[in-house]
Amino acid sequence: MRRILVLGGGTAGTLVANLLARELGAEIMKGDVEITLLDEDGNHVFQPNLLYTSFKGMKPEKIVRPEKKLLHKRINFSIDRVTKINFTNNKVITESNKTYIYDDLIIAVGSKIARDEILGFDEANLDFHSSQENALKVWERIQEIRKGKVVVGVSAFPHKCPPAPVEAAFLLEEFFKKRKLKDNVEIHFITPISRPYPDPTISNTIERHFKERGIIIHPFFNIDRVDSEKKIIYSLEGTDLEFEAMFVVPPHKAPQAIIDSKIGDEDGWIPTDKYTLLVNGQKNVYAIGDVADLRTSKSGVTAHLEAVVVARNIIADIRQTGERCKFTGRTHCPMDVGYGKALFVISTYDKAAKDAKPTRRNLLMKKAFAQMYWTAVGGSLEWLFDRYFGEDARECFIEEPI
């Protein structure tokens, strides 16, 4: 019996488990393969829509579904938080004190908000990254703002969804403009680096749009601490910024179980082979999605494409077909620039992003992807994604027998 254990029921974990369960039906029925997925809370949030709860008032209950309903019936599912992972004896321990032994382990526990990283940050800031409840608080707060500086941007790298801070700036500008408050409300974008987006080409486009729309950029602004009473953000570079409201993307780290298990770097990101997605030094442990320390975006699309690579490699190994797939680092990050338009940031490990123009068609595509999400994590739309991404997403070949 080959025991495949998946940790985390988000984008990456749900898809990889479903792809395996769909394809390995015969092996599972015969009792040769078993698939188990553990998730800490049993709810699956479609996180891209947190942006629309925060800045467009989308109902939070629309963006969450029970994980169990998204999983193939051949998957054993438990709601149980993982607390320890031990590679030496192939064991995973959970909060309820259960021990799971695995033959293949797929770690897909995503990322968490590091609330205590910056002094005063959490008391002053409202974030649209962590939950539907917090996203709703952002929506409620922006209704009250009549004047002053609204600060958005990045507190630290890496964080999930690189376009999200920029999207927040664009959607807020649209929000205040439509309410005729633009003369009284200023939008300020802070970032620790020289430009609003890490990729220079995309950044140029954003800077142009920021300028046109009066969004003020503060480059090289590393938050040191925040005084929530005086409403001032202090930077490590010695500059201060007063604010009326603050919606900055908080620092991220890996879930505590990864840090406690000492299998990641100091923030818990797991050192992972960028092509095979095997955890460095391991032959039967994969890290996919946000938790992996990969030189690509922490995004749902990359999590999805990584899940496919791992599923295909495990299936090939079980069936001894000799197929091997490598991930290309492909990103496909939509960026909503407001007023009904979006652009896509498309790159791979080897190809930097090309300049992209915001269009209405792109926003429609972003919305179409969102509509398809719940079906897509079930694993039945791979024929469509294969057509869309083609060979840009993975390189597959048959390994010659030695």
271 secondary structure, DSSP code: P
Map the footprint of ligand FAD across residues 81-100, applying CB under 6 A. Answer: 81-82
Q: Which residues lie across from 89 on neighbouring strands?
A: none
From the list 87-95, 233-241, 367-375, 385-393, the region that binds other proteins by CB under 8 A is 233-241
- Nearest by Cα to 287 from 111, 157, 165, 163: 111
> Among 18, 47, 131, 313, which residue sits at the site for ligand FAD (rule: CB under 6 A)?
47
Vertex 323: Cα angle to 320 and 325 (nearest 5): 135
Task: For residue 379, state whether it binds ligand FAD (rule: CB under 6 A).
Answer: no
DSSP string, 85-122: EETTTTEEEETT--EEE-SEEEE----EE-TTSSBTHH
> Among 29, 119, 181, 352, which residue sits at the site for other proteins (rule: CB under 8 A)?
352
Task: Return the one option of ligand FAD, other proteins, none that residue 158 interacts with (CB less than 5 to 8 A, by type).
Answer: other proteins
Helix (H) or strand (E) holding 44: strand 43-45
Task: For residue 358, state whether it binds ligand FAD (rule: CB under 6 A).
Answer: no
Task: For residue 236, state whether it binds other proteins (rule: CB under 8 A).
Answer: yes
Give the residue with the Cβ less far from other proteins, 200 or 322. Answer: 200
Spatial neighbors of 215 by CB under 8 A, at least 6 apart, are 169, 170, 173, 187, 188, 189, 209
Task: For residue 327, state whether it binds other proteins (rule: CB under 8 A).
Answer: no
Closest residue to ligand FAD, based on beta-carbon distance: 10
Q: Which residue has the tokens 């994604």?
A: 385
Residue 401 phi, psi dihedral angles, 5° rounding:
-65, 140
Task: Return the one option of ligand FAD, other proteins, none that residue 200 interacts with (CB less than 5 to 8 A, by type).
Answer: other proteins
Task: For residue 198, state whether it binds other proteins (rule: CB under 8 A).
Answer: yes
Q: Distances in Å between the alpha carbon of 106 and those of 8, 90, 92, 284?
A: 9, 12, 11, 8
End-to-end alpha carbon distance in the chain: 26
Task: Return the one option of ligand FAD, other proteins, none that residue 238 interacts with (CB less than 5 to 8 A, by type).
Answer: other proteins
Query: Going along 46-172, which residue ranges are E strands?
Result: 64-66, 75-79, 82-86, 91-94, 99-101, 104-107, 112-113, 148-154
> Among 72, 74, 149, 160, which residue sits at the site for ligand FAD (rule: CB under 6 A)?
160
Q: Considering the complex, what minimum distance in angstroms separates the CB of residue 191 from other proteins? A: 8
Q: Considering the complex, what minimum distance in angstroms separates the CB of residue 311 from other proteins? A: 25
> Among 199, 290, 306, 336, which residue sits at the site for other proteins (rule: CB under 8 A)?
199
> Among 19, 301, 342, 346, which residue sits at the site for ligand FAD (rule: CB under 6 A)?
301
Q: At how many degrees (to 10) do helices 200-212 and 164-178 cross?
A: 10
Give the residue with the Cβ less far from other proteins, 18 or 331. Answer: 331
Helix (H) or strand (E) holding 189: strand 185-190
Task: For residue 263, state whether it binds ligand FAD (rule: CB under 6 A).
Answer: no
Spatial neighbors of 136 by CB under 8 A, at least 6 apart, are 53, 54, 60
Q: Decide: helix, strand or coil at residue 377.
A: coil
Task: For residue 347, state whether it binds other proteins (rule: CB under 8 A).
Answer: yes
Task: Return the one option of other proteins, ligand FAD, none that residue 129 interacts with (CB less than 5 to 8 A, by type).
Answer: ligand FAD
Map the footprint of other proteins across residues 253-292, applying CB under 8 A. Answer: 266
Q: Distances in Å between the alpha carbon of 299 and those of 95, 158, 161, 317?
A: 28, 11, 5, 27
Judged by the rule CB under 6 A, the positions of this chain that interact with ligand FAD are 7-13, 38-41, 47-48, 50-51, 81-82, 108-110, 128-129, 160-161, 164, 255, 257, 289-291, 298-301, 303, 333-334
Residues in contact with other proteins by CB under 8 A are 156-158, 162, 192-194, 198-200, 219-220, 222, 224, 234-238, 266, 295-297, 331, 347, 349-350, 352-353
